Amino acid sequence: MAHPVKTDSSFWTIEDSEMHITLQKREKGKTWSSPIQGQGLLDPYAADQEQKRLMLQRFQEENPGFDFSQAQFSGTCPDPRTFMGGIRSD
């Protein structure tokens, strides 16, 4: 693994002869460049898109009464781990 995970919240299943692995990040809001150390890395565009997705996910969690499904960021997206005081931990 390239980054630490929460083992209690990570699991695997087999569906239609295909293995599905779900990993829960230990550091919420951190963009992983690759889940497996030494394997392909996200290109800068994909990393920015993931950063934006995590930021919208954070907004949704912090404001459950609002709909962010059509929200978009323009320009550079801030780091969701540090923006406006950072992410609340579970």
pLDDT tens, position by position, 50-62? 888 888 888 888 8
Confidence (pLDDT) at 28: 74
Residue 39 within a domain:
yes
φ/ψ of 64, rounded to 5, equals: -65, -20
Residue 57 within a domain:
yes
3-class SS of residue 52 = helix
Count: domains in the chain: 1
DSSP 8-class letter at 41: P
Cα separation, 50 vs 31, in Å, equals: 7
12 pLDDT band (50/70/90 cuts)? very high
Which residues form the domain of 57? 1-63
Amino acid letter, residue 74? S
Residue 13 within a domain:
yes
Residue 6 within a domain:
yes
Residue 71 within a domain:
no
Q: Is 54 exposed, middle or buried (0-12, 13-18, 19+ CB in 10 A)?
A: buried
Cα separation, 15 vs 42, in Å, equals: 27
pTM of the full structure: 0.57
Residue 1 within a domain:
yes
- Taking residues 29-41, what's their average pLDDT? 78
